[in-house]
Structure 1
Amino acid sequence: MRDLAFALLYDTFKTARTPALWVVDENIDIADIPDGLHGFSAITNRFDVAQALETKGWDYQLNDYLLEAQPREHFASIFLRIPKEKAQGHYLINQSGQLLCHGGSLFLSGMKQEGIKGFIDRAAKLSGQSADLWKADKQTWAGEIRFEGPMGEPLEDKDYRILRPAPQDDHFHFLSKPGIFGWDKIDQGSALLVSHLPSLIQPYSDINCALDLGCGYGYLTLHTGRLLNIPVVATDNNAAAVFACQHNLAQAQRQGDVTLDDCGTHVEGEFPLVICNPPFHSGFSVDNDLTDRFLASAADHLTKTGVAIFVTNLHIPLERKASHFFQRTETMINNGHFKLVRLSLPKK
């Protein structure tokens, strides 16, 4: 397995008491998902992970970690490789304590630089029991925490379940939440795209709708609809992002549909405009294939006379990658941090 922390956790699957629940976090590489196990179920907030779980024969749920809907005091074992967002991790630990039967065990794993020892210590304080620790190396740790009595004060999870005000601008008051990539900021690359969008599409006529690939909480979706006065179809791999984007569209009374999908694979039809700020990070690592998948989807969904606008960090070789999918690639803006690349004439 590529992720040593998950490999360390997976070693305990085979001897775990059941029923068991695997809370599949954002770090998992879908190639590392094992075959389903008897007595195990899984829950994920990622569409691509859910597809892989189904292929591997897992009993699974796809949602924004709605652990409140799971049976209380039911599971003998719960497994979690800690997520990137601290508030999300605290929420999952708090809820796990509610779901475990008397004497049930929460298994945590992660890397030292991700704060795994702090998570284990806080989970142990919540349970009132000391943790059993083991490690693969100096950087990769795991712990088992038993829940055998009344729990302590819940860990601070910033009301994870609830949408809350995110950074606003002159046009929109966005709502967002922990668990969405960049949930508490306006991405500078997306803001750059919005500021130049009208001029970038000026040579192209008949743009009456658009597709936003990887919409997050909906910043590009809402501004594209506002600037061009068109409906926007938005899609994201993350269940929390889809929920937030749907809410923001409704709140702003903008036209659009939001779907949970992997790089727009299941979105039907073609669009005269595709916009994308590709989230090149998958979990904690840089996913070199992710940008390729967004480019392929953009080419598949773009009309022959349409235009796609991508914004990326300067170090992403988007132009070289895009040449495999588009006949025309133009770097229109470079501000020293981000670049806007205009793509047209899809190869299909």
Structure 2
Amino acid sequence: MLIDDPAAAVLGLAWAQLPPLPAHAPVLFLGARPSAWLASVAAPAWHFAQDFKPHADALQALGYSVTPVAEAERHARVLLLPPRQRQAARALLARALEHCAEDGQVLLAAANDEGARSLQGDLAALAGPLQALTKQHCRGVWTAPLRAERINHALRAEWRALDAPRDNAAGFCSRPGLFAWDRIDPGSQLLAAQLPATLSGAVADLGAGWGYLSSQLLQRCAGVTDLDLYEADARALQPARINLARVPHTARIEVHWHDVTHGLPRRYDAIISNPPFHVDRADRPEWDRRSSRAPPRRCCRTGSRGWWPTGTCPTRRRWRRISGTSRS
């Protein structure tokens, strides 16, 4: 089933304003999400890129190939659905221009209450005059055929660098667009302070982000022998690895790009998590309900414990039913 995604639908309307491309013309879709209009226009030459594992899996289930983009790739058109976070969105705009060929065009769409007008101004600052349409409380925007002399190359380089991992104010490696990228989330901090020093064995961190909880676990719990981080946002994996490399430890560590709603591949002695209640600005508790399905009995050893930073979320009741114990 296709997700209800007005921005993706409006991107399709923007696409329909442009002349048809030959079937062999290369097209890149950054931040791609499923939408009904893709079935009628997407060709084998299209390249889909998506860092969020549930969206990537949904695209692949529909038959679209989701793969990394090589630096040298150039495309006749580049489509994008930018993230809400301003620095991450600007970095993606710059990346779109890098991958767009001479005389190619860049198209984007976003919800009005998620910065669509600001994104339009940012793209104009990079690429010059634009056209736009509005529908379903969203805005679709596209460039004229790109010319090198109209592109602000200095601004593009500046914004492209915004995506680079860097230390935040708390001293942890992160990057714009990740959850609580520039600070330590209070819920995670509260949970970390409650982790018992006796916690040991194999541990999983669900929705690990840039690795704060796991780094604190390694510092506080010397008995941890195996630690698996599961994170749906591929952009968080490198910062997480950097942060864990800074902590002296002897545990075996793996960082996985994985949607935990599909379950886990092994059993654990303990599972820690700050569940994802929000996607962008939207309050989406169904993500927590879905993530709480991740630790079924086949993933939990007898006597396992689960640790979450709340006493009321559905995961606590579910964990009691699964393992007979919980901590929150």
What letter matches 1:21 in structure 2?
L
Q: CA deviation at 1:291?
A: 1.5
* Percent of aligned pairs with the same amino acid: 20
CA contact (8 A) 2:209 2:240 kept: yes
1:85 is matched with 85
Kindly state the Cα deviation for residue 9 of structure 1 after the two structures are TM-superposed: 0.5
2:31 to 8, 24, 30: 24
> Structure 1 residue 190: deviation in Å?
0.8
2:217: which partner in 1? 224
The Cα shift of 1:189 comes to 0.5
The one-letter code matched in structure 2 to 1:134 is: L
The answer to whether the 8 A contact 2:169-2:183 is kept is yes
In structure 2, distance between residues paired with 1:305 and 1:285: 35
Matches within 5 A, 1:6-17: 6-13=8-15, 16-17=20-21
Paired residue secondary structure (2:296): helix
Partner of 2:304: 306
Superposed displacement of residue 238, structure 1: 1.1
SS at match of 2:161: coil
Match of 1:43 in 2: 49
- Report if the CA contact (8 A) 1:87-1:158 is conserved: no
Alpha-carbon contact 1:210-1:272 (below 8 Å) kept: yes
> How far did residue 232 of structure 1 move?
1.7
Q: Residue by residue, what CA displacement relative to the aligned partner does 1:137-196 show, whole Å, maximum 9, x if unpaired?
A: 4x311111122232114255372342211243xxxx421111321111101011111111
TM-score when normalising by structure 1: 0.79
* Aligned with 1:56 (options 46, 50, 62): 62
How far apart in 2 are the matches of 1:51 and 1:166? 30
> What stretches of structure 2 of length at least 5 have no aligned partner?
none
After superposition, residues 311-330 of structure 1 pair within 5 angstroms as 311-312=309-310, 316-320=313-317, 322=319, 325-326=321-322, 328=324
1:344 equivalent in structure 2? none
Task: Please give the TM-score of this superposition, normalised by the length of structure 2.
Answer: 0.84
- Report how far residue 47 of structure 1 moved: 2.1
Task: Structure 1 unaligned segments of length 5 or more: list them.
Answer: 333-339, 341-348
Paired letter, 1:149: A
Using a 3 Å threshold, how does the CA distance of structure 1 residues 289 and 113 change in structure 2: closer, same or farther?
A: closer
Q: CA deviation at 1:12?
A: 4.1
SS at match of 1:135: strand
Secondary structure of 2:11's counterpart equals: helix
TM-superposed deviation, 1:33:
9.2
Correspondence for 2:196: 198
**Offset at residue 313 of structure 1 (A):** 8.3
Partner of 1:188: 186
Amino acid at match of 2:195: L
Counterparts in 2 of 1:290 and 1:33: CA distance versus 1, 3 Å: farther
* 8 Å CA contact retained: 1:273, 1:307: yes
Residues 158 and 198 of structure 1: CA distance in aligned 2, closer, same or farther (over 3 Å) = farther
Q: Deviations over 1:224-244 (max 9, x none)?
A: 122111132111011111111
Conserved in 2, the CA contact under 8 Å of 1:68 and 1:95? no
For residues 241 and 308 of structure 1, the distance between their equivalents in structure 2, rounded to whole angstroms, comes to: 23
Q: How far apart are residue 92 of structure 1 and its match?
A: 1.5
Counterpart among 241, 248, 252 of residue 253 in structure 1:
248
User: Structure 2: how far apart are the matches of 1:94 and 1:269?
Assistant: 40
Secondary structure, counterpart of 2:143 in structure 1: strand
Deviation, structure 1 residue 329: 5.9
In the TM superposition, residue 258 of structure 1 has moved relative to its aligned partner by: 1.1
Determine the structure 1 residue equivalent to 2:173: 175
Per the alignment, do residues 274 and 31 of structure 1 end up closer, same or farther by CA in structure 2, a change over 3 Å counting?
A: farther
Whether the 8 Å CA contact 1:33–1:52 is kept in 2: the answer is no
1:320, CA displacement in angstroms? 4.9
1:244 & 1:117 partners in 2: Cα distance?
Answer: 31
Q: Are the aligned partners of 2:234 and 2:257 in contact in 1 as well (CA < 8 Å)?
A: yes
1:289 partnered with 2:277? no
What is the distance in 1 between the residues matched to 2:37 and 2:218?
38
SS in 1 for 2:295: helix
CA distance in 1, matches of 2:203, 2:104: 49
Structure 1 distance, partners of 2:56, 2:308, is: 27
Task: Measure how far apart 1:299 and its partner are.
Answer: 3.1
Specify the alignment match of 2:201 in structure 1.
208
Output the CA distance in 2 between the equivalents of 1:132 and 1:161: 27
SS of 1:11's equivalent? helix
